[in-house]
Amino acid sequence: MSDPSSKGFDPPSDILDPEVPTQSTSTWTSVPALSATTADDSTSNARGSEYLRDEPQAMAKKVSILTDMKQVRNIPSNGSLPNLPNAPSRRSSSLREMNDGIKLTTKLVNGEEISMKTKVLAVTIPLTTCLVSNFIYMSMSGFAQRTYLEFVEQDLEFWANDKRLPDIILDAFESSGWYSKKSLLVWTTVSDAFPAALFAVCACYLIWNGHYVTINRCLLTQSFLMLLNSLAENLTILPSSYGYDRCLEYLNITSSSDLPDYSFSPTGSCAAMIWSGHCVHTLIAAHMLGCAWAEDHPTTGFPVIGKYIPNRVFNVIKPKTFLLIFLGLLELVFLALAKGHYSVDMLVGIIISILCITNHSLKTIFLIYNPFLKKMIDPDEMRLMMMPHGELLGEARRLREILKERGEGDFS
């Protein structure tokens, strides 16, 4: 699929060759030809292969391993290895060719065509879950907001003039004269709009291009973190980085007594939010968008002013990783200029986001959660997606030894 955690599944170089050539013919006994899938058909099926694939080479290795293992399990007594894919005369370095060799069949799974109803339901399940979890978060934010304002009003003199907790970065911006009433208003609007717009663009791109597995992970990861954030905000309530007076102005009230008994806040409470939802949304969207784009354009990278960034920016970092870092830093600057979060909120938001989008157990749970998505993925591909790292390495070693014993060479 499309996730940095796939790196954790890449067998070490002493087990597998770094590059595995694509297969031009089908050697699977129960799965239609993988490489026979046309580019036009590729958007009509769940792109289950991007579930683990951060780099097309990594997924190519895994599919090749699984393909060969199915052959090895039925080795005849004469010791020959029938129908094992023959290595081409030259090893292709084209990521596009590797990608073509590992895409799922697009219209047929187990011989049956994927219906539009299944595709719609595969998106509806995570979307509904996302809406419900966000509604819960917005509903609970009012409790923390009221508690914070009532806490400050016990000693208004101490918290006057938008006093907040000490913060190295915010203090540095403030001492440098970056904050004014007008600038805070502008940057608050920008910092709120940027992650929302990025997430919307990401979701539209994933759905339009048929990245059903990725959009499932994107929405369910967001849902999971928003539910956790609704708990974190209400368990421990910290003074807002906005300050009391600015919170009142933001909420258009004069004191906590003006708040209704129940309030619904789309952007969360005015109290400190423990970790930054802005950072969470930005990083999830940037990561999923980057992974999907890398899958769609594995050899060209990202277009910039009519040209394309090579597969390694500065010959060091992958374009999708560069995109994640660049957009993440951009939102951090917006938040600092708006005093939208304490620095620790942003740091915790970054850490939690990265841990979630790179966690294989969460990816597996999210995949199992959506029964309609599972119908769109071939069972053998599903087994590959859910295979633990240790089991994958064990099968790879076993296959390598068998190939050597039979004198058939190795994976390369």
Q: Could you write out the three-class secondary structure of 131-186?
A: HHHHHHHHHHHHHHHHHHHHHHHHHCCCCCCCCCCCCHHHHHHHHCCCCCHHHHHH
Give the span between the Cα atoms of 235 and 275, in whole angstroms.
Answer: 13
Residue 296 is which amino acid?
Answer: D
Alpha-helix runs per DSSP H in 236-359: 244-251, 277-296, 319-338, 343-357
Find residue 113's DSSP bridge partners.
108
Give the span between the Cα atoms of 357 and 199, in whole angstroms.
Answer: 15
Give the span between the Cα atoms of 348 and 276, in whole angstroms.
Answer: 7
Q: At a CB cut-off of 8 Å and minimum separation 6, what does 36 contact?
A: 26
What are the Cα distances from residue 366, in Å, to 34, 45, 123, 215? Answer: 25, 18, 12, 11
Q: At a CB cut-off of 8 Å and minimum separation 6, what does 260 contact?
A: none
Q: How many CB atoms lie within 10 A of CB 208?
A: 9
Q: How many CB atoms lie within 10 A of CB 403?
A: 17
Shortest CA distance to 218 belongs to which of 361, 105, 367?
367
- pLDDT score at 395: 77
Q: What is the pLDDT along the chain (412 residues), one digit of tens a residue?
A: 444 444 333 444 333 443 344 333 333 333 333 333 344 444 444 554 444 344 445 555 555 555 554 444 444 433 333 333 333 333 333 333 333 333 333 344 555 678 888 899 999 999 999 999 999 998 888 888 888 888 888 888 888 888 888 999 998 988 888 888 888 889 989 999 999 999 999 999 999 998 999 999 999 999 999 999 989 888 888 888 888 888 888 888 888 888 877 777 766 677 777 889 999 999 999 999 999 988 887 766 566 665 666 667 776 788 888 889 999 999 999 999 998 899 999 999 999 999 999 898 898 999 999 999 988 888 877 887 787 777 878 877 888 888 888 775 555 4
- pLDDT score at 335: 93
Give the span between the Cα atoms of 219 and 210, in whole angstroms.
Answer: 15
Cβ–Cβ < 8 Å for 381, 104: yes
DSSP annotation of 30 reads: S
Q: Could you write out the three-class secondary structure of 112-138?
A: EECCHHHHHHHHHHHHHHHHHHHHHHH
Find residue 317's DSSP bridge partners.
313
Residues in the chain: 412
